[in-house]
Amino acid sequence: GYEDLNDHEALRFDQALQTATGNASTLAGKSTLCRMEQAMDRQTIVKAHELLWHHFIEQHEKPPKEIVLDFDGTDIPVHGDQPGKFFNRYYDHHCYFPLYVFCGRHLLVSYLRTSNRGDARHSWAILALLVRFIREYWPQTRIVFRGDSHFSKPRLLAWCDRNQVDYIVGMARNQRLEALAAPAMDKVRTYYEAHGHKLASTFRFRYKARSWHKPRWVVARLEYGPQGPNPRFVISSRYDDGFKLYYEQYCARGDMENRIKDQQLDLFAGRTSSTHWWTNQWRLILSGFAYTLFERLRVHLKNTPFERMSAGTLRLKLIKVGAVIIRNTRRIRVLMSDSYPHKNDLSALVQRLVPQ
C-alpha cells in the first residue's frame, strides 16, 4: 500500500509482511527493488500478462457459457521527461493512455500506450491474442467484445465476424443514423410534449456504413428532454430486444470504469515517473497484480462488513492495522488492540478461514 520504494527500508523488517510472503528473513530493500524495476523488458511484460490470463482461467471450476471482454482506455498524467509522453487535447495535459481489458471483475490486460494515437490502438491484436488463449481452454465458450464508440473500427468488427466473436460497441452518431431513427424519435418527442417528462426508448434497425462489408444491427437509445433530442447508438452482432441490448448489456460496461478507478485512485497505477518505458509498464502491471490480490481477498470476505469496501478502504481498515506480532519457529501470533472497531469481525473471519 506504499507508493515509494524508500518505505521498504523499514517495511523489509515487518514480520507480518515477511510471513505473508513466506519468508522468515529480511525482505528486499529500496535498492534491490529499484534494480528489479529497471531490469524489466518486453518479454517480462508478456509473461506477466500470461500469468494474469492463467489466473483468470483457474478461477473457474468449469468453462462458462459466455464471457464479455470489456475494453477501455484512461489517462495517466506525466510531468517529467518520460519516454513517449504527448499532450492530449481531450484530457488537456501530457499523459500516457493505457488500455485495460476486464472480464467482469477479472483484470486481463493492463497495457501502457502513448496518448498520440487513437483509443483503439493495438486493441485488435490484443483481442486476437486473448481469444486464441481463451479458446485453447474453453473452445465452446461464447466470447463477446464490448467497448465504447472508439472501438467501432471496421477492421476490428470484420475480424470479429470472421472469428465468431460477438460484439456490442458504441457508435458515434451522424446525420444518416439520426435520419433513420427520426420516426421513432418523433414518437418520443410527442410523448414528452404531452406529459412533460423524459421518455427513454430504443429502436433497432439495420444499417450499413460505407466502410462496412455488410449491414449490421444498430440499436438507437432515444431520449427527449428539455434540451431536445439525445440519441445514442450501439452496434451489435446479436439479434435481440433493443432495450435488453442497450440497457442490460451495453450499459453494464460502466462497472469497468469503477475497476479502473480502483487502480488509479487506490493502487498507484499512475506511478509512471521512470525514464524507462518498460519500467513504467511494469509498475502499471504491479498495480494490476495488487488489484488481483484484493479481488482474491474479496472472495473470502463475503458476508462480512468488508465485503463491499473499496481497495483503499480495505487497506485502511483491514491491512494497515496496528498490532503486536509474536513469532517463533512454530507459529505467529497477531495481538489486536481492543479499540480496533472490526476486531470481532476479523476474529470470526480468521476462525472461518484458518484450520484450527
Q: Which three cell numbers stand for residue 264?
A: 488509479
**pLDDT computed for residue 215 by the predictor:** 92
- Average pLDDT on 184-191 reads 89
Percent of the chain predicted with pLDDT > 90: 55
What are 118's strand-pairing partners?
none
Q: Residue 105: CB partners within 8 Å, gap ≥ 6?
A: 259, 295
**What is the torsional sign of CA 300, 257, 101, 60?**
positive
> Mean pLDDT, to the nearest integer, of 344-351?
82
Average pLDDT of span 77-93: 91
Please give the pLDDT value at position 127.
96
Q: Is the pLDDT of residue 317 over 90?
A: no
What are the CB-based long-range contacts (under 8 Å, 24+) for 296-299? Answer: none
Max CA separation in the chain (angstroms): 79
Query: Which DSSP symbol is given to 150?
Result: G
CATH of domain 39-299: 3.90.350.10
Q: Is the pLDDT confidence value at 74 over 80?
A: yes
Mean pLDDT over 257-283 rounds to: 92
* DSSP 8-state class, residue 114: B
Give the whole-angstrom CA distance, residue 300 versus residue 306: 10
| 98/193: higher pLDDT | 98
pLDDT at 91 over 70: yes
- At residue 2, the pLDDT reads 63
Banded pLDDT at 355 (limits 50, 70, 90): low
Query: Which three three-digit cell numbers place residue 153?
Result: 473500427
Angle between helix axes 123-137 and 154-162 (nearest 10 degrees) is: 20
Q: For 225-237, what is each residue's pLDDT tens digit?
A: 888 888 999 999 9
* Confidence category of residue 124, pLDDT binned at 50, 70, 90: very high
Pull the grid cell for residue 8: 521498504
pTM for the whole structure: 0.91
Q: pLDDT > 70: what percent of the chain?
A: 99
What's the confidence (pLDDT) of residue 1?
55
Please name the residue that has the C-alpha cell 509482511. Answer: 17
257/10 Cα distance (integer angstroms):
34
Mean per-residue pLDDT over the chain, rounded: 90
Residue 2 carries which side chain, given as an amino acid letter? Y
Answer whether 278's CB lies under 8 Å from 45's CB: yes
DSSP states of 207-262: E--TT-SS-EEEEEEEEEETTEE--EEEEESS---HHIIIIIIIGGGHHHHHHHHI
DSSP string spanning 78-97? --S--TT-EEETTTTEEEE-
Does 4 have pLDDT greater than 80? no
Average pLDDT over residues 133-157: 94
Per the structure block, which three cell numbers stand in for 249? 448489456
Mean pLDDT of 137-143: 96
Cα angle at 259 between 255 and 59, to 5 degrees?
95
Number of other CB atoms surrounding residue 267 within 10 Å:
23
Measured distance CA(200)–CA(319) in Å, rounded: 45
How confident is the model over 33-50, as a mean pLDDT?
Answer: 94
Does 354 have pLDDT greater than 80? no
Please state the separation of Cα 229 from the chain's center in Å. 32
Quick: pLDDT tens for 296-308: 988 888 888 888 8
DSSP state of 337: -
Indicate whether 294 pLDDT > 80. Answer: yes
Locate the domains of the chain by residue range. Answer: 1-34, 39-299, 320-351
